[in-house]
Structure 1
């Protein structure tokens, strides 16, 4: 599979922005991607970039496992080349409002966690508690017309030698994949600890995502019109990805019950400048972006380190049925967020196929240091 390189330089990372999927920023070329010259055939460029099998560009190879937390199945995705294991939990809509620091009617309870910014409180606790997770990703997705909103928290566990060794020790002899299953068990325990930290901050978990639910969540990102967000009977990836247009990305889903494939058009922007508060950067600002009448997902990627201020990257992906609808959203958002606004967005033109992967619930933007293990070790 060939990926098309950009004709422009990728944007420089914002202050403290985590690296992109290849250790750079959104817009970094996919490893092994062919150059523009190599992508032409007989002097003509292919009209579309097709992905018949496997994940779309920028996602990389994945290994799927499953463990149990509080009696519930929990999916664990291992990204060998990223050096991370990823789990996902869904939070209640009320928890999403707390994380976004949405003002509520009436006075706040000074004794409750809402008296301080909940997101900042959570980050302080995780950074100071020695959490094994080093990156978090908060996804807030909404779908009109009913403006259904879902909030997910993605956590990335680095595959250090110590974590891999603990996974091998925890795996049961005689299982299909002792090392991988043991690693899933370690990730499950860490996710349970994360749940306790969330509860201490007044945040409620709606559920742990198993493989079927995670598949449905991925599907809902590139096919927002999909009826169910958790359906084990659908494939996790689009059947076609067209990344040739510089202002948008087109994805085509597998044919549904009606036997007709559906295409959506997407565009992704990244936070170029952040507003400030008395306590530093307003990290929750991307989660409070205006809700226009199109499906969209706000993604906040956060790096955690003991006794350090989190670094951050923010993204906004919007989906539309037609290119005209998508362009109108960009115009309307520019009107609502003038150039002098403290929160500045920049569209990732010519790089939407890579930036879109950052807002998938796969933590691809959560890459840690170069991995210390290979696929064959699981």
Structure 2
């Protein structure tokens, strides 16, 4: 199915929703945007077909899951429009109806896997719910259960990108802007961590409006080894450049470079498929001054979670989309 993203939002969730604590797998260095934030809605015991984004390149379906109490969790499935998807869609129907039926089948399989992982599926996101969720991403004042808004109002009316330290957005019918900043996870834990490793970010900032998105894609062994070689080449080149400049080498960079090589050896010896993983964090505040304070808090919490993050200054307008329910951010 391509890419599956977890979206966790601290603000605007319905009571009784919570997050799981995702455990990072093999990592991929996030792509800077210039170089490159729902299972069945139960109606009379039946399930509606999930909404499918209409486009010539990619399709997505989303679902909401229940894992306890706290923040809501969303899972998005992303599939590129390939020959295989087109053939599967053609076998199920004509045009977009066939593709929608194929995506619905993929989502059913995804929901079954969620249930196997003890994640209770609540409802798929139809067009109204998806529009409300997207709007809540840049306008937290809008409740995610308020689905009575036109599709045209799902996206910002005004976007201000003049300041490279943040992006300001204003929704239709609103007179106030929200300020957002996005950070990429550039280094995952290099040692085994527990299932609550991300708790400092997920539940350690109760007064901060933020979205944590983790996007992953399975890939064949050959491609995974090729990606590892590219990462290892970049790591070694950076270390060599630092030595030539007389700069002290960060021990964490040495550990990360060693972990990349070890992962490559494990992939090559086992022949198993690889998994590319990227993570992004978006925070939202009412003012630029408050945003700077929250950025420092978020960086501190990320260190407590054994993550290294990098704020994507000058690129926040593009990076912001990586935490919307589009399962983006991978090459």
The answer as to 2:183 corresponding to 1:269 is yes
Structure 1 residues 223 and 77: CA distance shift in structure 2, 3 A = same
Deviation at 1:337, TM superposition (A): 4.7
For structure 2, list consecutive stretches of 5 or more residues without a partner in the other structure. 1-25, 38-42, 221-271
Which of 263, 269, 278 lines up with 1:313 in the alignment?
278
Deviation at 1:248, TM superposition (A): 0.5
Partner-residue secondary structure (3-state), 1:333: helix
For 1:325 and 1:206, how far apart are their aligned partners in 2? 35
Which of 313, 316, 325 lines up with 1:361 in the alignment?
325
Partner-residue secondary structure (3-state), 1:365: coil
For structure 1, list consecutive stretches of 5 or more residues without a partner in the other structure. 1-14, 20-24, 31-58, 60-67, 98-147, 172-177, 368-378
The answer as to 2:32 corresponding to 1:26 is yes
Q: Report the TM-score when normalising by structure 2.
A: 0.67
Contact 2:89 2:95 in 1 (8 A): yes
The answer as to 2:56 corresponding to 1:77 is no
Tell me what 1:88 maps to: 62
For 2:154 and 2:319, how far apart are their aligned partners in 1? 18
Task: Report matched runs for 1:207-246 at 5 Å.
Answer: 207-234=123-150, 235-246=153-164
For 1:336 and 1:152, how far apart are their aligned partners in 2? 22
For 1:169 and 1:252, how far apart are their aligned partners in 2? 43
The alignment covers a number of residue pairs equal to: 246
Deviation at 1:350, TM superposition (A): 0.5
For 1:209 and 1:351, how far apart are their aligned partners in 2? 29
Partner-residue secondary structure (3-state), 2:50: strand
Task: Report matched runs for 1:1-378 at 5 Å.
Answer: 16-17=27-28, 25-28=31-34, 70-80=46-56, 83-94=57-68, 149-171=71-93, 178-234=94-150, 235-255=153-173, 260-278=174-192, 285=197, 288-289=200-201, 290-305=204-219, 307-337=272-302, 342-366=306-330
Partner-residue secondary structure (3-state), 1:262: coil
For 1:322 and 1:211, how far apart are their aligned partners in 2? 31
For 1:346 and 1:87, how far apart are their aligned partners in 2? 29
Deviation at 1:287, TM superposition (A): 6.6
Greater per-residue helix proportion: 2
Q: Report the TM-score when normalising by structure 1.
A: 0.59
Structure 1 residues 262 and 29: CA distance shift in structure 2, 3 A = farther
Contact 1:269 1:347 in 2 (8 A): yes
Deviation at 1:93, TM superposition (A): 3.8
Deviation at 1:265, TM superposition (A): 0.2
Structure 1 residues 334 and 186: CA distance shift in structure 2, 3 A = closer
Partner-residue secondary structure (3-state), 1:329: helix
Contact 2:29 2:187 in 1 (8 A): no
Contact 1:73 1:209 in 2 (8 A): no
Structure 1 residues 228 and 86: CA distance shift in structure 2, 3 A = closer
